[in-house]
Amino acid sequence: MTLGALAIDEVERIQSRLSHLEQERKHLLAVIEILQEIGGTLHFNDIVQSVARRLGEAFGLDRCSIFLAERGEKSVRLVATYEDPGIRNYVVDLDRYPELRRALQTGETVFIADAATDPTLGPARWALAARKVKTITVVPISWRGTAIGAMFLRSFRDGPSFTASDLQFCQVVANLTAKALRNAHRFERMRERRDAGRSMPPHAKREAVLLEFIRRLLAAYPAADTEDAGGEAGGEGGSGNTEEIDRLVEVAQAVLSQESAAR
């Protein structure tokens, strides 16, 4: 190989390396932007819509959607989409999306390099070819080893090809999305319990306190009964415990009655 050929190869290698580094830089910036957006909200709709929009913009996609699965069901719900932000909570039949079904069932990323020729897509590939779809990527959104949803990405035929680095980036985003959705779910449960407590009338709150008090006493009763009666049910110790429980319940009722009268 001549010196000129070696120089050309070296230039191409450097250019390839620079291109790879630039791609990594864009991915890191996109991750930071996504973290800033979903980390600043605990609202479910804001999280999924933000992820769909960011991915759609990053790759210039034909379609980018977020699906969430319903346990034990044959359908999933389309909860956010890049191309039409107005579509939310739309039930989708999994029979129309075999690639989505496969990703949810296996918990692994499904990548279709050429949608127009892939036999697993069935008759749908003709419609995809007419729409000039090139690749389809379905990345599961998993929590504790279970796929709870998926990110569905579809690229144009004249767009850039998906690389291994792109797929890794999408997996990172899917993991961030799963954690954000979990936090949003916990927040909603806490808010529901708080609202339920506020809407409960005062007397119902006091009754709930009394019931919890009795529950704890009864939970401790068998252990105390066994200890006092020497392991013989119905002994003198058991009778004493019953009387003590009755006495404590009467005291609690009296305190609650006084509190109610004072208010």
* Residues 51 and 135 occupy one common structural domain: yes
CATH code of residue 94: 3.30.450.40
* Residues 12 and 103 occupy one common structural domain: yes
Name the domain boundary from 194, 219, 246: 194
Q: Which domain holds residue 44?
A: 3-194
Instruction: Return the CA Rg of the chain.
Output: 30
Name the phi and psi angles at 248, rounded to 5. Answer: -65, -40
**How confident is residue 187, by pLDDT bands cut at 50, 70 and 90?**
confident
* Residues 175 and 206 occupy one common structural domain: no
Condensed to tens digits (0 to 9), the pLDDT of residues 113-167 reads 999 889 888 888 888 888 889 999 999 999 888 899 999 999 988 877 788 889 9
d(CA 11, CA 157): 29
- Residue 128 confidence (pLDDT): 87
**How confident is residue 229, by pLDDT bands cut at 50, 70 and 90?**
very low
Distances (CA, A) of 237 to 89, 216, 218, 219, 221: 60, 19, 15, 16, 11
Name the phi and psi angles at 22, rounded to 5. Answer: -65, -40
* Residues 190 and 204 occupy one common structural domain: no
- Residue 136 confidence (pLDDT): 94
* Residues 29 and 127 occupy one common structural domain: yes
Closest CA to 52 of 102, 26, 87: 87
The percent of residues in the chain predicted with pLDDT above 90, rounded, is: 24
In the predicted structure, residue 224 carries a pLDDT above the cut 50: no
Starting at the edge strand found earlier in the chain, the sheet holding 63-69 runs: 90-93, 75-81, 63-69, 146-156, 133-143, 110-112
Mean local confidence (pLDDT), 167-171: 92
Name the phi and psi angles at 137, rounded to 5. Answer: -125, 125
Q: What are the b/e assignments for 152-179, b being 16+ CB within 10 Å?
A: bbbbbeeeeebeeebeebbeebbebbbe
Full DSSP string of 188-237: HHHHHHHHHHHHS-HHHHHHHHHHHHHHHHHHHHHHHHHHHTTT-TTSHH
* Residues 77 and 46 occupy one common structural domain: yes
- Residue 154 confidence (pLDDT): 93
* Residues 143 and 125 occupy one common structural domain: yes
Number of domains in the chain: 2
The percent of residues in the chain predicted with pLDDT above 70, rounded, is: 70
- Residue 43 confidence (pLDDT): 83
* Residues 187 and 213 occupy one common structural domain: no
